[in-house]
Amino acid sequence: MVSALLLAALPLAAAFPHSASIFAGSTTSAAFPPPGATGTSYEEYFPAAAEVGFAGPTPTGAEPEAIQTAPAAPVKLDTYPLVADGAAYNPSFNPMRYWGNLSPWFSVGGAFGLPEASPQVPSGCELTQVHIVQRHGARYPTSGTNKFAALLQDAVVNGTGFTAHGPLEFLNTWTYKLGAEILTPFGRKQLYDLGVAARVQYGHLLDEFTRLPVFRTTSEWRMVQSARNWAAGFFGLEEYPTSYHEEIIIEEEGYNNTLVPWNDCDNANGDLYTMGSWYANNWTEIYLKDTVKRLQQYVDGVELTTTYVSEMQDLCAYETVSIGYSKFCELFTEEEWKGYQYANDLDFWYADGPGNPTGAAQGIGYVQELVARLTQTPMTVFDTTTNGTLDGNNITFPLDQPIYMDATHDTNIASIAVAMNFTSMVASGPLPVDYIPEDLSYNTQHIAPFAAHLVGQVMTCPVKHSTSDSEKYIRWLLNDGVVPLTGIKYCEEPNKDGLCLLDNFIKGMQERVAEVDFQYDCFGNVSVPYPDNLTNGRYIR
């Protein structure tokens, strides 16, 4: 029995709280740096580069502009150095593509309905400005959310123990090794790589700055980590601290913040929000019902449920992006991973997306800021999640930057997509709660995976049938996929490159802002259950 061995180990684990525990399900793990270690202990022995000197030649070349000059756009498909394989996988099936918002980002191609469009600026057009909305990188789980590890640990601590065999045999010695909330090493890499990519694609726009850029993030530590890793990739490790102004907006109740809108929208919390998890949990009972029976035969001493098995799928995703590999991944079939993905889709759709009556309201504050930037018009009305102190100041909210970068969360990217009325994502209609539709157009792993990024490209392009005239256009890319703008008023005419005349897009956004009733949607009497046929992120009275 495993239990006798594990119980004998308990005093050892208690005596060395910073050591890696050896009992199954333990949440105690090793810590780095070692306790008591400081960076100044032997500082005199390790002079900085400036003190050492002998740097050699340091001239820099012209800023890159690959987004305009390269013959094709780079494609992101790999997740090096993560490993995701196992006997249950078909070689052509990558489970990482089915982890919803826990998937590492990848280039989604024509997922939004424009298969011929490329992230490359169309031939003949000249890029003049970019607006980047950047999700943080891969992180550890939210504190206290995974109860499966606690289930195993309780069995050991209470003396009942458990034994596992077959595909679950690894549980006999498995321990919980994950941190909480902050970025994983892979998550740091994701943001650094994206900063490098942005410099390669958009670096030439730096030549148009007349003062240091202002890039924004929120105060949550993984958000600050993400923004700084992105900036380190964009500017370079030595240069980034002095190359831009880091604006950290407080992420807490009572502080308006368009990058964390739910704190300023009462209806985005409580019963309206939990509808997402209710629908997702209902689906989990369906798609994992037989899986529980299949896995239960390999473990004695603990009783599995659909909730615990779903958390085992969570652990596959979290362990992979945290420690590089997870034995949990091998336990599930292709169909079970597709079911897991759909549970994420249901949660996002009904909690923060098109199926929630606060979906548009949560994202509309960013749209107001976007319109101000595109029109270079100072903001004077602050009636949503916008921040009158910061947005009303041209130092903290400049209107003339060629590059904007705002770091935010996954649910906010989903809400911004609703606020901007990206209707291609809702083309298949409201999400059914008891089966996966064949033509599903709302896929969370395409919209808000780890390190997701929404990019608005402003450019000048030649006018048709004219050799000298040009006009300004805008289009939007989400994880390298060009998003059709046909759901936006005045942009309805289909365009193979996803372009809309900038003036038309601005008019469409202004009308969208006007039609979203932020006060009612966020503070009105919108009760549960609300109509489950919403696709516009608004409850029309």
Q: What are the helix and strand counts (H, E) for the chain?
A: 17, 10
- List, in sequence order, every beta strand (DSSP E) within 114-212: 126-135, 163-164
Residue type, 448: A
Angle at which helix 410-419 crosses helix 334-351, to 10 degrees, equals 60
Neighbours of 48 (CB within 10 A): 7
* Rounded Cα–Cα distance for residues 530 and 442 (Å): 20
CA-to-CA dists, residue 158 to 106, 161, 301, angstroms? 44, 8, 11
- Cite the active site residues: 136
Bridge partners, residue 127, by sequence: 459
Angle subtended at Cα 370 by Cα 365 and Cα 374, rounded to the nearest 5 degrees:
155
- Return the sign of the alpha-carbon dihedral for residues 428, 433, 437, 440: positive
Element (H, E) at 216: strand 214-218
Q: Which two tokens stand for residue 530?
A: 């609300």
Say how far residue 286 (Cα) sits from the centre of its chain.
27
In contact, 473 and 501? CB cutoff 8 Å:
yes
Phi, psi of 390 (to 5 degrees): -90, -45
Residue with token string 């798609």: 287
